[in-house]
């Protein structure tokens, strides 16, 4: 069975033509699925009956099964989706006055293994398919639209950030069709500036994205020099800062915005000294990358061994950048009471399995061994 969520509109058109259908049939189908949130072919009333019948035998919309949905005190919603074989991914909706941002996952786990990231600590399980990436948006948009009582033309999700679990540019071939469906006027109709890919710096793929689907780009920097960055983001060994900066500069020729957003996770005593901020100024000036900085207060998790920088130090760091002429924001922590904040997404199911295994081990231990707190 074909999963209809696995296609952008071009892909769906090719598939429909292969089935002997006219190309406009694909657009009709695409609109039913993505604009109206309809999965059941029988409800797609303007499709010809024989075509509906044929479709039923060949394809379906395969949604993700939500294991849980949690709503934070601040209105942030976090879904945990089952992607099979004990893996789960998380998707987070962040409502604000003028927008609704959906934070989407691209992989189960992540191979980049950044020191400060809970997903990275979990290791890499697998890439998500285009259908699994899009199913997160499909579920959130149509679910929230119904819950909020929005009418046909209204949107719950106005912005998408690929900042959930995983490194999107290490899942490039699945990512690009998903982005295209997000941008498609017959799909979610989001503008390029409202769709952001966040990357730890996969240089060759930044270059490809520029040609294939230039959306807004956020780069997770976290350090002003190679030595420190290698320590925090191991991928820096493969793609050092000079190459990364050159790729950022080149990207701007096609980007929908005239700046790159640099994300910088503030780690107590590690990368948060004013000297680091001054070195960042030298770095971005030297490489001539127009940019904004987004400082993210570190969200601690038990295995990291790291601490969040004190507020005063984050503010002082921001001031150095601001005084150097760079627009700098400090990210508000949202949804941390439900572990939905940046870097806290771990796909709890796996963890829970581990906890269960640990508990089972403990039960089989001889009674004289003192139980350790997990």
Residue choice 26, 102, 157, 296 for contact with ligand SAH (CB under 6 A): 296
Q: How far is the CB of 77 from ligand SF4 (least distance, A)?
A: 20
Q: How far is the CB of 202 from ligand SF4 (least distance, A)?
A: 9
165 touches 105 (CB < 8 A): yes
CA distance 106 to 139: 15
Residue 57: CB partners within 8 Å, gap ≥ 6? Answer: none
63 touches 138 (CB < 8 A): yes
Q: How far is the CB of 301 from ligand SF4 (least distance, A)?
A: 11
Among the listed residues 1, 8, 129, 99, the one whose alpha carbon sits nearest the alpha carbon of residue 334: 99
Q: How far is the CB of 21 from ligand SF4 (least distance, A)?
A: 39
Which of the choices ligand SF4, ligand SAH, none does residue 109 contact, using the CB cut-off of 5 to 8 A by kind?
Answer: none
Among the listed residues 237, 76, 245, the one whose alpha carbon sits nearest the alpha carbon of residue 164: 76
DSSP state of 142: H
Q: Which is nearer to ligand SF4, 117 or 223 (CB)?
A: 117
Per-residue burial over 42-60, b if 16 or more Cβ lie within 10 Å, else e, is eebeebeeebeeebeeebb
# chain residues binding ligand SF4, by CB under 6 A: 11
Instruction: Answer yes or no whether residue 335 interacts with ligand SAH by CB under 6 A.
Output: no
Q: Which is nearer to ligand SAH, 239 or 298 (CB)?
A: 298
Range 321-329, long-range pairs (CB < 8 A, 24+ positions): 321/277, 321/280, 321/281, 321/293, 324/277, 324/278, 324/281, 326/281, 326/284, 326/291, 326/292, 326/293, 327/292, 327/293, 328/292, 328/293, 328/294, 328/295, 329/292, 329/293, 329/294, 329/295
162 touches 183 (CB < 8 A): no
Which of the choices ligand SF4, ligand SAH, none does residue 263 contact, using the CB cut-off of 5 to 8 A by kind?
Answer: ligand SAH
Length of the chain: 374
Q: Which is nearer to ligand SF4, 101 or 122 (CB)?
A: 122
Residue choice 13, 87, 119, 129 for contact with ligand SF4 (CB under 6 A): 119
Q: How far is the CB of 349 from ligand SF4 (least distance, A)?
A: 17
Instruction: Answer yes or no whether residue 122 interacts with ligand SF4 by CB under 6 A.
Output: no
Residue choice 12, 26, 61, 112 for contact with ligand SF4 (CB under 6 A): 112
Residue choice 26, 163, 244, 248 for contact with ligand SAH (CB under 6 A): 163
Please tell me whether residue 215 adopts helix, strand or coil conformation: coil
Q: What residues are labeled active site?
A: 90, 342
Residue 331: CB partners within 8 Å, gap ≥ 6? Answer: 294, 295, 296, 297, 342
Instruction: Answer yes or no whether residue 200 interacts with ligand SF4 by CB under 6 A.
Output: yes
Q: Enter the tokens of residue 364.
A: 């089989």
Instruction: Answer yes or no whether residue 160 interacts with ligand SAH by CB under 6 A.
Output: no
| Per-residue binder mask for ligand SF4 (CB under 6 A), 71-110, x = binder | ---------------------------------------x
Interacting positions 220-279 with ligand SF4 (CB under 6 A): 220
Q: Which is nearer to ligand SAH, 214 or 343 (CB)?
A: 343
Write out the residues near ligand SF4 by the rule CB under 6 A.
110, 112-114, 117, 119-120, 166-167, 200, 220
């Amino acid at each position: 069975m074909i999963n209809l969520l696995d296609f952008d509109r071009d892909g769906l058109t090719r598939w429909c033509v292969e089935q002997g259908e006219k190309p406009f049939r694909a657009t009709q189908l695409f609109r039913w699925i993505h604009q109206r949130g309809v999965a059941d072919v029988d409800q797609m009333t303007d499709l010809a009956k024989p075509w509906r019948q044929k479709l039923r035998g060949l394809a379906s919309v395969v949604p993700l099964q939500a294991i849980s949905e949690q709503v934070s005190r601040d209105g942030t919603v976090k879904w945990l989706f089952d992607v099979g074989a004990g893996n789960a991914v998380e998707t987070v909706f962040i409502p604000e006055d003028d927008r609704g941002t959906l934070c989407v996952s691209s992989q189960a786990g992540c191979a980049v293994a950044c020191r400060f990231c809970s997903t990275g600590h979990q290791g890499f399980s697998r890439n998500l398919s285009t259908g699994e990436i899009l199913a997160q948006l499909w579920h959130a948009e149509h679910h929230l639209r119904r819950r909020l009582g929005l009418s046909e033309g209204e949107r719950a999700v106005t912005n998408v950030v690929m900042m959930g679990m995983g490194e999107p540019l290490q899942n490039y071939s699945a990512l690009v069709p998903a982005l295209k469906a997000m941008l498609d006027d017959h799909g979610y109709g989001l503008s390029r500036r409202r769709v952001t890919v966040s990357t730890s710096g996969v240089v060759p793929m930044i270059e490809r994205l520029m040609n294939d689907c230039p959306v807004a780009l956020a780069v997770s920097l976290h350090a002003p020099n190679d030595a420190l960055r290698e320590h925090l983001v191991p991928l820096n060994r493969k793609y050092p800062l000079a190459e990364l900066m050159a790729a950022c500069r080149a990207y701007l020729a096609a980007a929908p915005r005239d700046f790159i957003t640099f994300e910088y996770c503030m780690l107590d005593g590690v990368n948060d000294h004013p000297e680091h901020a001054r070195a960042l100024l030298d770095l971005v000036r030297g490489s001539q990358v127009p940019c904004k900085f987004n400082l993210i207060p570190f969200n601690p998790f038990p295995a990291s061994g790291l601490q969040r920088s004190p507020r005063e130090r984050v503010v002082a760091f921001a001031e150095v950048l601001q005084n150097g002429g760079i627009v700098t924001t400090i990210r508000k922590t949202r949804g941390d009471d439900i572990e939905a904040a940046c870097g806290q997404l771990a796909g709890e199911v796996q963890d829970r399995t581990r906890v269960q295994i640990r508990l089972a081990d403990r039960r089989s231990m001889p009674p004289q061994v003192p139980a350790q707190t997990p």
